[in-house]
Amino acid sequence: TYKKNAASGGVMSMIEQIVSDAKAMEAEAIRSEEDAQKAYEDFVKETNASIEAKSKDIVEKTEVRAKTEEELVETKESKEAVMLELEQLSNYNAQLHQSCDFVLKNFDLRQT
């Protein structure tokens, strides 16, 4: 009987060691899971912040583009008006030139 008890002590010690190792592994697994959960939560926060920042950037750039396109339309309209005015001034210049040429050509005749 004594030999059985001595042998069972070794087995009991081995079982206790296995239980102790299992508890340590469980604690390590729980810590790893908590670390992974925290890393995931941080990742989600960073991703959401990045998405929000990029969305704001898109809105701002869209507003700038709309304003720029509006300015482009106004500039084109202004250019058309200036070109029309230049054409009218050129025509007026040609008329004045003809009139001036006529006056110079006929100046001597009118003086007599």
Average pLDDT over residues 65-72: 97
H-helix segments, 1-112: 2-105, 107-111
Q: Which pTM does this prediction carry?
A: 0.54
- If you average pLDDT over residues 67-96, what whole number do you get? 97
Mean of pLDDT values over 66-95: 97
pLDDT digits (tens, 9 = 90+) for 2-12: 455 555 567 78
% of the chain with per-residue pLDDT over 70: 91
Q: Which of the four pLDDT bands, split at 50, 70 and 90, describes residue 102?
A: confident
Cα atoms found within 13 Å of the Cα of residue 44, Cβ hemisphere only:
6
pLDDT digits (tens, 9 = 90+) for 3-39: 555 555 677 888 899 999 999 999 999 999 999 999 9
Question: Given a cut of 50, is residue 1 above it in pLDDT?
Answer: no
User: What whole-number distance in Å separates Cα of residue 103 and Cα of residue 107?
Assistant: 6
- Dist CA 63 CA 57 (whole Å): 10
Q: Which of 10-14, 73-77, 103-107 has the highest mean pLDDT?
A: 73-77
